[in-house]
């Protein structure tokens, strides 16, 4: 929904967006989580920050992988009273906030007249130039999909299953059969094949409504791909259908930050 809202804002010509200087303050770990997740698919993104919190949506240049992020205003120490959009280079932002950690407050001040933000944390003050949002790839439309398979499991378990597939193959197949009540993550190589079962015991919530198999490129998921920030202890919700994009959701920032990732499948040649 974040992207749809953001798009509506953009369409409205920024009517809800501030042109005055404004300031928000957020904990370093929250901002770092946002940047880490975005960096798995893009180098730059348009942030919308202010009284509604933070939202950002980005799609990789091939339009294959997408990340949408929302941080509720309650996760901020202070949010000001407008919303500002700014395009930022993520590598540089990552470097600039690198010196802050944990609960260190990071203050972001928007300077519309210079299209830049001022970043303050610990003993550091940075002025960072923004990128014209028009020069950044359009935020994606999001396909509506009624998933055949939905399940929630520990992110660490899921990442392990996908990494196992990488041992034998360049792509991973998710397979679920209604009667089996489990999801199998498969790596099929030329000579070897590896299967990791995510059994009903490991699924905290979910439903297999229809049998579904779908194939995905591993390089979008692991080895720096979208699953990179995830580890054990995070609940991950996965939704997919036969030969349709997979959606993966998780929360961060004490439940006040929400991530949705989407990846388009490789579609079989049968």
Partner 1 sequence: MRLDEFVEFERNERAERRRLAQEKDYGVLDHLETFQDRFDDALSGDSLVGSVSPSIFVGRSNYPNVSTGILSPVGREEQAERFRTSGDWYDEGVSIGDVFERRSGLLNSNRTAEVDNVHDAWDGWLGTQREVAIADRPVDVEIGLDSKPDLDVDIDDVGAPVGPRARARDASLGENPHVPRPVEKTLEDDDWRAQGAMTYLYRRGFDVYEINSILSAGALGQGENRRLVPTRWSITAVDDTVGQYLRGTIRDAPSVDSVEVHRNEYLGNAFWVVLAPGEWEYELVEMKAPGSVWNPDPEAGIYLAAAHEGREGRTGYVDETAGAYYAARLGVLEHLSDRGRQAKVLVLRHVSDAYWGPVGVWQVREAVRNAFEGEFGEAETFGEAVRGVADHLPVPLSRLRRKSTMAAGLQTNIADFLG
Contacts with partner 1 by CB under 8 A lie at 59-64, 66, 140-145, 169-171, 188-190, 193, 215, 217, 219, 244-245, 262, 264-270
Which tokens in the block code for residue 244? Answer: 């349709």
Q: Which is nearer to partner 1, 49 or 58 (CB)?
A: 58
Q: Which is nearer to partner 1, 123 or 269 (CB)?
A: 269
Q: Which is nearer to partner 1, 25 or 217 (CB)?
A: 217
What are φ and ψ of residue 74, in 5° steps?
-65, -20
Q: How far is the CB of 214 from partner 1 (least distance, A)?
A: 9
Which tokens in the block code for residue 201? Answer: 């015991």
Give the Cβ contact number of residue 270 at 10 Å.
3
Contact 151, 206 (CB under 8 A): yes
Q: How far is the CB of 14 from partner 1 (least distance, A)?
A: 25
Q: How far is the CB of 142 from partner 1 (least distance, A)?
A: 8
* Order of all β-strands in the sheet with 53-59: 83-89, 44-50, 53-59, 65-71, 257-263, 246-252, 235-240, 149-154, 205-208
Q: Which is nearer to partner 1, 7 or 118 (CB)?
A: 7
Which tokens in the block code for residue 205? Answer: 């919530």
Q: How far is the CB of 57 from partner 1 (least distance, A)?
A: 11
Q: Which is nearer to partner 1, 143 or 231 (CB)?
A: 143
Whole-angstrom Cα distance, residue 30 to residue 163? 26
Q: Which is nearer to partner 1, 132 or 243 (CB)?
A: 243
Residue 6 is given by DSSP the state: H
Q: How far is the CB of 166 from partner 1 (least distance, A)?
A: 12
Whole-angstrom Cα distance, residue 24 to residue 51? 9
Q: How far is the CB of 32 from partner 1 (least distance, A)?
A: 24
* Start-end of H helices in 102-150: none
Q: How far is the CB of 62 from partner 1 (least distance, A)?
A: 4
Q: Which is nearer to partner 1, 123 or 270 (CB)?
A: 270
Among candidate residues 219, 176, 223, the one with its CA nearest the CA of residue 195: 176
Contact 97, 35 (CB under 8 A): yes
């Amino acid at each position: 929904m974040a992207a749809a809202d953001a798009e509506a804002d953009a369409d409205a010509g920024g009517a809800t967006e501030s042109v005055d200087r404004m300031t928000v303050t957020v904990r370093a770990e929250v901002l770092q989580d946002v940047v880490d997740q975005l960096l798995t698919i893009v180098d730059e993104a348009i942030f919308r920050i202010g009284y509604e919190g933070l939202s950002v949506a980005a799609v990789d240049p091939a339009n294959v992988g997408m990340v949408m992020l929302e941080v509720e205003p309650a996760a901020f120490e202070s949010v000001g009273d407008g919303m500002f959009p700014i395009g930022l280079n993520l590598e540089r932002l990552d470097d600039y906030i690198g010196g802050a950690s944990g609960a260190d407050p990071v203050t972001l001040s928007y300077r519309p007249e210079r299209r830049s933000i001022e970043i303050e944390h610990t003993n550091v003050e940075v002025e960072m130039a923004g990128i014209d949002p028009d020069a950044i790839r359009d935020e994606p439309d999001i396909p509506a999909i009624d998933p055949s398979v939905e399940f929630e499991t520990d992110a660490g378990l899921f990442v392990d299953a996908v990494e196992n597939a990488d041992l034998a193959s360049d792509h991973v197949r998710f397979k679920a059969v209604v009667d089996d009540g489990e999801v199998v993550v498969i790596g099929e190589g030329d000579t070897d094949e590896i299967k990791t079962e995510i059994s009903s015991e490991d699924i905290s919530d979910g439903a297999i409504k229809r049998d579904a198999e779908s194939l995905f490129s591993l390089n979008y998921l692991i080895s720096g791909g979208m699953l990179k920030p995830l580890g054990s202890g995070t609940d991950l919700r996965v939704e997919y259908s036969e030969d349709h994009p997979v959606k993966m959701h998780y929360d961060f920032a004490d439940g006040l930050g929400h991530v949705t990732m989407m990846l388009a499948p490789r579609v079989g040649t049968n």
